[in-house]
Amino acid sequence: MSGRFVVVGAGTMGLGIAYVAAGAGYAVELVEVDPARGAEALRRLGELWDRGVRRGKLTEEAATANRERVTLRAGLTEVAEGADVIVEAVPERLDLKRAVLREAESRRPALLGSNTSSIPIADLAAGLDRPAEFVGLHFFNPVWAMALLEVVVGPATAPQTTEAAVALAARLGKDPVVVRDMPGFATSRLGVTLGLEAIRMVADEVASPADIDKAMVLGYRHPIGPLELTDLVGLDVRLDIARTLQAAYGDRFAPPPLLVEMVAAGKLGKKSGQGFYTWKDGVKQ
């Protein structure tokens, strides 16, 4: 298997996407403007492959081959034209993403994708010359462990582009869902609904956070409860998504007062040490 796969942005998501693309045999170019973050991403990738070898999941040779398949680039100008795929995973800001996508498009990839988790594909496509070849490729964190790829089809996305995205998912070992470009796509819209209702239930003192989570884990076979998941995602992130969805769909997505208060008090979940649970060194207490 060969082919060229370009990832723009070597943060949490970019490095995860690079990991699975290298594992799928692509020559990966990881584009990162911040040299320190780029170096850190390469170090972390090496660490992940070493761990894979230690756990018997891949051979030394495969780990070395994967490592050698990833090249760091300081900018898209360093990327040759005609890659099979370019996916952007830069921060969730419309102007930044638009600028990156326009530049990426000028490198003439066969498939252009965005890993946005909330910006409409139509808005991102607005400045592109070939929006038909552009699609949402929404990966989940951590990319190597999460099976889902949400393929988000914009109004201008061509059917062949959607087919190419579905084929790409298969090559990367991901299981795709194809969704229409609507705020919150399929995952955030449904996931946030459950999270917000669980927070209202804490405020109503229906049960403790631990028991609300346990009810969904044991009663509905969810792998993790909605409040613990909110702690992992970040209460601030969920609040932002709720507000975006409220603007799109109305007050059924209005953030519960308890969520607003907790964010204002700096209780952001795992990353701040306190959310619906207390966290110490990244571990739930």
Ligand X SMILES: NC(=O)c1ccc[n+]([C@@H]2O[C@H](COP(=O)([O-])OP(=O)(O)OC[C@H]3O[C@@H](n4cnc5c(N)ncnc54)[C@H](O)[C@@H]3O)[C@@H](O)[C@H]2O)c1
Which residues bind to ligand X, rule: CB under 6 A? 8-14, 31-34, 37, 89-92, 96, 100, 115-117, 140-141
Compute the least distance from the CB of residue 39 to ligand X, in Å. Answer: 11
Give 104 or 202: the residue with its C-beta nearer to ligand X: 104
Compute the least distance from the CB of residue 142 to ligand X, in Å. Answer: 8
Q: Which residue has the tokens 């723009």?
A: 8
Strands 279-280, 134-138: pairing is: unpaired
Compute the least distance from the CB of residue 135 to ligand X, in Å. Answer: 15
Q: Is 64 left (phi over 0), alpha (psi -120 to 50) or beta?
A: alpha
Which residue is at the shortest CB distance from ligand X? 11
Give 37 or 284: the residue with its C-beta nearer to ligand X: 37
Nearest to 2 by CA among 31, 29, 26: 26
Give 202 or 236: the residue with its C-beta nearer to ligand X: 236
Q: Which residue blocks in the chain are alpha helix, DSSP H? A: 12-23, 35-54, 60-68, 94-106, 121-125, 159-171, 187-203, 209-220, 226-233, 235-249, 257-264
Q: Which residue has the tokens 């190419």?
A: 164
Give 9 or 23: the residue with its C-beta nearer to ligand X: 9
CB 135 within 8 A of CB 109: no
Compute the least distance from the CB of residue 1 to ligand X, in Å. Answer: 25
Compute the least distance from the CB of residue 13 to ligand X, in Å. Answer: 3
Compute the least distance from the CB of residue 176 to ligand X, in Å. Answer: 15
Beta bridge partners of residue 181, listed in sequence order:
none
Give 90 or 235: the residue with its C-beta nearer to ligand X: 90
Give 16 or 225: the residue with its C-beta nearer to ligand X: 16
Give 37 or 44: the residue with its C-beta nearer to ligand X: 37
Compute the least distance from the CB of residue 149 to ligand X, in Å. Answer: 11
